[in-house]
Each structure stands twice: as structure tokens, then as C-alpha cells.
Amino acid sequence: MRYLIGNWKSYQTISQTQTWLTDFSNAKPKINNRIKLILCAPFTDLAEAKRIIHHYGLQIEVAAQDVSPFEEGKHTGEINAKMLSELTTYCLVGHSERRREFNETSEIVAEKVARLIEANLSPIICLDTPYLEEQIKLLLHKRIPLERCLFVYEPLAAIGSGQPADPFEVEMIAQKISFLTESRCPILYGGSVTPENVISYARHHCVDGVLVGGESLNPAHFVQMMDNLSYES
């Protein structure tokens, strides 16, 4: 199975989500059953995105972009895993932007992963080399079933910079993640992925797909990446 995951970040209103999915449907994409398409949308878009996906019969799943480390309770403004469980089956956690802008630590990320697992959701866990081993060790310490997780190697220098990591370096890091997790979960790459370079990552043995940021906001580019991955699969 290959994964093509789009991360819309803090973009896309409900009306823009409607337009994106309509444009995607109108492109009449030929979706390869060996590729799983996931869109990480803002919380406000999840319900409408699911409705439109069902309406058009699209083979796309939606994912949340974050989750509270707390269970349900007196935590005003927090979106907990139980709330997400009625909207999605996936959730992105540990993105480097949240580590940088919200001071999230590997311990906080591990708590979020634990909440997601309790709610029967699949975490998509982002990693970079400075905290890669620390993060995985914390997950193992909490007895997280890693086979229910996806991991994404996303070097900070490559995110939004237009300077993607070297595919051979990505393969080496993916091999390390595979070793530390005992090959129990898919491993993806994220960071300045484009339709032109997506195959250079997918061709490597330990890389099971990509997490796409800015390019995923353009449905035509997303379709092109899907087509390129389908050709390689």
C-alpha cells in the first residue's frame, strides 16, 4: 500500500473545501486501489469534507490535523480524540510547525498518540532526526501498538522551503525508523514534495508514501501526484 496524504495546514474554509473536492471530482481521477488518499483538513472542514466525499463517491479519507492530549473534560477549546472519532479515522500529530510554534514536546506528542489509540484512531506521527529516537522510545514506553501508526520523516529544513531532502538520505532515515519500530508500520516522507519529485521518494524500498503540504492545496497537482504514484505502484 502506498500513501498520498495532503496536509492543508491552516488553509481552506468550508466553501474552499467544497470547491477543492468538486474540482477533484471533475478531474475524474483514476484512483489506484493500491494507493490510499488522505486529506488532513482543519477541524472546521472535516464534516463537510466527509459529506462531499460521500456525495461524489470519492476514494478519499479525511484526517484531523491535531488532537488534545487530554481526555474529555473541563478543557475549554480543546478538541479531544472522542470528538474526532465520529469524523475521521486518522489524525496528524507532532508536526514540526506545532513543535516550533506551540512548544510541543515528544512527551506531549506521545500523550496525544495514546489518546488517539484509545479512541481507535490511527496516528500519523511526524519525526525529524533531532528527536526521532526520543519520540519512538516514548511511544514504546507507553506501550503504543506501533502497527496502528504511520510515521512521517519530515526534516524541518525541507518544509515549505522548496528544498526537498535528498531521496537517498530519506531512504537511510526511513531504514532507521523501520529498525526502531521493528518494521511494524508504514513510513512516509514529507517536505517540499511536488508532482515532479514524488516518484524519486516512492521508488525507495522503505518509503511507503508522502505527506504533501502546499502542493496539496491545488487539486490538479494532487491528482498529478496520485497519477505519478499509480504509475510507480
Q: Distance (Å, rounded) from C-alpha 108 to C-alpha 85?
A: 20
Catalytic residue among 95, 97, 104, 111: 95
User: In the annotation, is 154 catalytic?
Assistant: yes
User: In the annotation, is 54 catalytic?
Assistant: no
**Nearest 10 degrees: Cα torsion 232, 160, 16, 40:** 60
> 214: closest CA among 136, 141, 162, 154?
162
Q: Distance (Å, rounded) from C-alpha 233 to C-alpha 230?
A: 5
Catalytic residue among 104, 111, 154, 171: 154
Burial 99-125 (b: 16+ CB within 10 A, else e): beeeebebebbbbbbbbbbebebbbbb
Where in the sequence numbering do the catalytic residues fall?
95, 154
